[in-house]
Amino acid sequence: MNHDASAVEAGRYDYETKKGDENQLYGEQPVVPGASTLGEATGRGGNTHRGLKSRHIQFLALGGAIGTGLFVGSGGILALVGPAPLFMAYLSMMFVVWNMMNILGEIATYLPMRGITIPYFVKRFVDPSLSFAVGWNYWYAYSILVAAEASAGSILLEYWDTPVPKAVWIAIFLIVILFLNIVAVGVFGEAEFWFASIKFLTIVGLIILGFVIMLGGSPNDQGRLGFRYWNNPGAFNPYLVDGNTGKFLAYWAACIRAGFAFITSPELIALAAGETIAPRRNIPKAARRFVWRLAIFYGFGSFIIGVLVPSDDGRLLSPTSNATASPFVIGIARAGIKYLNHIINAAILTSAWSAGNAFLFSGSRVLYGMALNGDAPKIFGQTNRNGVPWVAVLATWSIGLLAFLNVSQTGGQVFLWFSNISTISGFIAWIVVMVTYIRFRKALVFNNLLHTLPFSTPFQPYFCYFTLFIVSLLTLTNGFEVFFPGQWSVSSFLAAYITIPIFLTLYIGHKIWFRTRFLIKVDKIDVTSHTKEMDELCSHDVEPVPKNWVQRAWFWVA
């Protein structure tokens, strides 16, 4: 079947078979036989390079997930609702993230073309209008996350009360991540690997230290902490109302806020699939290990935070706080361990750099992929000689300049604004991803191709349906507290819900303008184009064989 590329450029979407019309479209993209990259298939931009190794892709996913959401944002949750809801919320959200990583791993491993992004999959398996809306939503979320990490970095630097103006620190933060993203993907991957390594060593050390302090290993006279702060001031801070209802609302508010720590992190592996060496080996490897490592870091980390610091400590993150600090740093200071609090604060600062680095990479790749798809100006599809979409990188980075709002506003309040905005955007994106997976799987079943999935995860699609229900509830109730008497705030309401009408406007506007149908029919979904090229590409991959126990251990880790 031939495909009319000019019709795609003109914006015509046609999924129906018309008798006698041999040039009608079958899907959202022209299929060019032999094309192994999206740039070649569409002719709208340059190609990226496969420069990310196994250790890069694994540490990229975890590096994006373990950032200021755990190191700084968790302190805000602790202050708001107490240690028990904090711990329970992170455990609950890990189930959601596990499911998201599984379904994204399945789709990305099936078709790891250079240039593909999540909006590409949405356009191919669901609907062009939904792809257009979610693409810009993703770009918006990642751009805001860059600003959020820069904002958190300035908060951490305030711990030292330096004479250097806040604006200078924000500028340094943004310039460093721009340099790491603009040079080459290999440089980005290497920087992210070392940033994330520092982060992992830090969190492991903090968890071990936390248990030592908990069991009485403090150098000062605070003694054995145990569950002291779970008893006084208490495990739960009832939220908005008293009693069990207030405790449940505390847990639900914690789940919503915990979403910021995880939001858009599973997508990092899918977005990097097209720039990964041996994608069908390395993506499943990273996906399988992601949730277990996340469970250790977030499970133990959130537990230790509630043990080391009481929820009424005035130094925890809040809308009115200025010189805020990580709850880990506060806990070390309370234990009387000299100098270590400064070392840990510096290590946590690198985590903000790491997460900001990863989010700038992801946002630029989303914009680049949309340009190849025809959903963004063609200029964003340009790449330099190193395969970096430099125009998309600059455009995404420029939104990070919003971090300079910290100069005129309270740092804690600005960080909370950014986290709320990006969280709701991420929840919307997850809903679209799950709808895409359901359509993708139905098309595979229709074409009797489900058995050809290179990477298959358990309990699907049932876990996907359940997670879709949970995330939809989180999205609708993201700002529920503003509707309680005396809690109304225009800025909080806008931060919690402004993304929803923006997303719907993009979706409905595109659908009206291009007159697309509600969904591509299952029998019209294309699950075969370019899979042959990917099969051939991955057939040449030879898995390295460890020569000794040191290599065997390293291959297991990275």
Q: What are the tokens at 399?
A: 């939104």
CA–CA separation, 179 and 182 (whole Å) = 5
| 481 Cβ contact partners less than 8 Å away, ≥ 6 residues apart | 239, 240, 253, 487, 492
* Predicted local confidence at residue 3, as pLDDT: 39
Please report, for residues 333, 352, 492, the alpha-carbon distance to residue 309 in angstroms, rounded to integers and kept in the order given.
10, 22, 27
Among the listed residues 48, 44, 12, 40, the one whose alpha carbon sits nearest the alpha carbon of residue 28: 12
293 with 265: CB under 8 angstroms?
A: no
Residue 15 confidence (pLDDT): 45
Residue 294, C-beta contacts closer than 8 angstroms, at least 6 positions apart: 62, 65, 66, 94, 97
Mapped onto helix, strand or coil, the DSSP state of residue 542 is coil
- Which residue ranges make up each domain of the chain? 54-527
CATH class of 54-527: mainly alpha
Report how far residue 137's alpha carbon sits from residue 421's, in angstroms, rounded to the nearest whole number.
11
- Rounded to whole angstroms, how far apart are CA atoms 330 and 200? 19
pLDDT recorded at residue 454: 86
Taking the C-alpha atoms of residue 476 and residue 175, their distance in angstroms, rounded to an integer, is: 36
DSSP assignment letter at 255: H
Cα 95 to Cα 58, 102, 204, 292: the distances in Å are 19, 11, 21, 11
Q: What share of the chain in percent tops pLDDT 90?
A: 13
Residues of the chain falling short of pLDDT 50: 1-34, 40, 45, 49, 320-323
pLDDT of residue 484: 87
Bond before 310 cis per omega within 30 degrees: no
Alpha-carbon distance 122 to 341, whole Å? 45
Q: Is the omega angle on the peptide bond into residue 501 within 30 degrees of 0, that is, cis?
A: no
